[in-house]
Amino acid sequence: MRWCALACLFWAGEAAAQEAEPPVAPEDAIFLDPSITGEAIEIWGERPDKPFDRDTQLRLSGEELAERGATNLAEALELLPDLVVREQGRGGEQVEIRGARKGSVKILIDGVAVSDPFYGNFDLSSIPITDIVQIRISSSPASPIDGVGGPGGVVEVHTRDAIGPRIVLARVAGSTLPSAEAAATGRMALTPRLAMRASATGTLGYRDLTIMDTSLREDRRQEVGAARLEYRHGKRRAVFDGWVEHASYVVPPGDDGTDDVLVIDGETQVRGSVSADDEIRKWRLEGRAYGHYLARDSRYYDDASLEGYLRREDLEAVRLGVAGLANRPLGPRTHVIGSAVLDSEEADVVGFDGNPTGGRASLLEVAGGMQFADGPIGVDGAVGMAAPFGIDAAFWPEAKLATTYRPVEPVAVKLTGGRKGRLPTLRERFRLDIGNEELGPEQVWFAEVETALSPSRWVRLRLAPFVRRSNGLIRYDEERDALVNSGTFDIRGFDSEVAIAPAEPISGGVTFSYIDAFSEELGSDSLDFLPHDRASVWLALRRVRYGGLVRLRYQSRQNDRGAVLAAGTLLDLSAWARVTHDLTASLRLDNAVDREYEDRAGVLAPGRVLLLAIQGEWK
C-alpha cells in the first residue's frame, strides 16, 4: 500500500502540470484513426520519447517468432545462437549469456525486473509469443540507471501496448514430447484515452523424463493470465500491469549440487506494477511501483521412482519496490539522466521438521548518467552507488560506459566497460539444504570490443572479444556441500558472425563462440555447463507467404559436477506458411536426426521433437 500511495502522489502531481507539446513522430509511427479513438494516438514498438533508452539491441520481433514456430519466450531465445537456454535446476527454463546465469541475467518485461523474489529465477516459458512485440538483448552488464543486479547481461521484452487498433491473437501448438499449449491475447479501447489488453495461456506437458534408466512423467500443468490498463494523453502515460501464474510439475535432478527429484505440488506467483511518465519543462519523468508474490509447495525424493521421500519445503516470498527516473536534453546531442531504485525481498521457508528459516534483503541504488550522440560518435555512460541493507555487506560503486564510433558507414566499433554487482538471492542464503547465510555480494568487472562490418548488402561481419572478471562468484562447493563465494574468476572469449545476404529472400550465415572460465584455484574449464566452443550454420528462405530455416548447431563437451557431457551436433528444421490472410501455420522439427545425448548427467534429452503451431490474428 505504501508503494501504491507513492505512485498515486506522483501521478497527481503530473496531472496538475501544463500540457506538453505533441511529439514529432518518426516516419514509421502508426496513427490510429481518430474516428475510433477520438484522437490520433501514436504507437511504436520502441517509443521514441521513452524516459530511458537502454543499451540493448533488437534481435527478434513478434512476427518473426510466429513464423519460426516459437510458442513462448524460452523457445524464442533458443533461436539466438549467442544465448543458451536450458532447464533451470529447480523448474522452468533459464537463459545464460556468456556463462552468466539466472541470478546474474536481468530479465525485464516492459521495464520491470521479473525474477522471482526467492530463487532469482524467471521461467521464460511463462510468456507466450502472442504478447511479445520485440526482444532486445545486451550481452554486457545492465546500466546502474536500471537499478539492482544484472551483472551478466539484459534480456528486455516489449509486450503489446493496450492502446492500439482492436486486435485478437490466438495460438495453439502441440508437440510429440508430448505437450500442448494454447494462448490468446486481445486488446480494445474502453474510452478515447483508456484501453485494456488481456491474455491467457494454458500449457500441458506429459514428457517422459529418463533419469538413470528410470522413466518419470513431467506432468506439467501451467495457467497464466495477464492484463494491462493503459491511459495516454499526449506525452502523458499511465499503465497498470497484472500477472498471475499457477503451475505444478516434476523436475529432474538439477545443477545445484543434489541428485534429488523435485515434485512441485503447487506454485502460485502474482506480479503487479503501476507506472506513470510525462514531460514537464523538458524533463521526462517516470515513476514506478511494483510487487511480486511467490508461494511454492515442494516435495523431494531420492530417485525417479518417487518412493524414497526425503523432505517437504513450503515457501512464501515477497518483493516490493519503487523507482523514479528523470531525463532532460541539454541540447540536440546530449541527455542527462538520474534514477533511484529501492528494492526489498523477504522470504519464509518451512521444512519437514517445522523449523522455519528465512530473512530479508534490501538494496538502494542511486545513479546518474549522460547520453551523447554527434554524427559518427555515440557515448552512453552512467555511475551509481548500491547500498545493501539486511545483509552484512558494504556499499559498492557501479559504472558502465559504452562508446560507439562509425568512421565510415559500413564500419562500427563499440567499446563497453563497466562494473556491476548483485546480492545473493534469498534462496542462495536460506535454502534448507545448501544455503549459506554468510554469502556476500558478487562483483563483476566487464570489458568488450565489438566490431561490425557491412561492406555490401551481401555480407555482414561481427567480432566481439570480451572478458568478465567476477569477485565472489557464487557457486556450489562439493566439499562443503553448500553454496560459497569463490575467489576471482575470469570468463573470457569472443562471439563472431558472418551473415550472407541478410536482407535477401535467401540468406545464410555462420556463428562461432569461444568461452573459458579460469580461476587460480580451479584452473581452466572450471564452471559446470560451460562448453568452450559453440557454432551454428544456417540457411533461410523468406517469401511473402512462406519461408523456412535449416540450422546446424554444434556444442563442445561440458562438465556437470564431475561428469562430462559429450560434444555433439543438432539439426533443426522449420517451415511456415500463411494459410489464409488471418492464419499462419508453422512446423518445426528439433533434433531432426534423433541424436541421443544427456541434458544433464543421468538425464536424457527428449530426442527428435516435432511441433505444429497455428496462429491467427484478427483486427
**What pLDDT, in 10s, does the model give residues 430-456?**
887 788 888 999 999 999 999 999 999
Q: What is the pLDDT of residue 43?
A: 37
Q: What is the pLDDT of residue 9?
A: 33
What phi and psi, each to the nearest 5 degrees, are found at residue 284?
-95, 115
Distance from the first to the final alpha carbon of the chain? 38
Residue 19: which pLDDT band, with cuts at 50, 70 and 90?
A: very low
Residues 486-496: what's their mean pLDDT?
91
Task: Kindly list the distances between the CA atom of residue 541 and the CA atoms of 287, 321, 497, in Å, as whole numbers in the listed order.
Answer: 44, 46, 19
Residue 4: which pLDDT band, with cuts at 50, 70 and 90?
A: very low
Q: Where in the chain are the domains?
A: 2-618
| pLDDT beyond 70 at 91 | no
Residue 203: which pLDDT band, with cuts at 50, 70 and 90?
A: very high
| pLDDT beyond 90 at 208 | no
Q: Which three cell numbers stand for residue 178?
A: 508430448
Percent of the chain with pLDDT over 90: 53
- Lowest-pLDDT range, 57-71, 137-151, 240-254? 57-71
Q: Which three cell numbers stand for residue 246?
A: 499457477
Q: What is the pLDDT of residue 49?
A: 54
CA-wise closest residue to 195 among 225, 230, 243: 230
Residue 258: which pLDDT band, with cuts at 50, 70 and 90?
A: low
Residue 201: which pLDDT band, with cuts at 50, 70 and 90?
A: very high
- Read off the pTM: 0.85
Alpha-carbon distance of 616 to 170, in angstroms, equals 5
| pLDDT beyond 70 at 102 | yes
CA-wise closest residue to 379 among 419, 334, 411: 334
Alpha-carbon distance of 87 to 76, in angstroms, equals 14
Q: What is the pLDDT of residue 21?
A: 32
Q: What is the pLDDT of residue 596?
A: 92
Q: What is the pLDDT of residue 454?
A: 92
Side-chain-facing half-sphere of 525: CA atoms under 13 Å: 12
Alpha-carbon distance of 379 to 118, in angstroms, equals 36
**Domain 2-618: CATH architecture, name and number where available:** Beta Barrel (2.40)
Alpha-carbon distance of 252 to 247, in angstroms, equals 16
Q: What is the pLDDT of residue 526?
A: 82
Residues 203-209: what's their mean pLDDT?
87
- Lowest-pLDDT range, 19-23, 67-71, 120-124, 357-361? 19-23
Percent of the chain with pLDDT over 70: 89
Residues 419-439: what's their mean pLDDT?
88
Q: What is the pLDDT of residue 216?
A: 84
Which tops the pLDDT comparison, 43 or 391? Answer: 391
Q: What is the pLDDT of residue 41?
A: 35
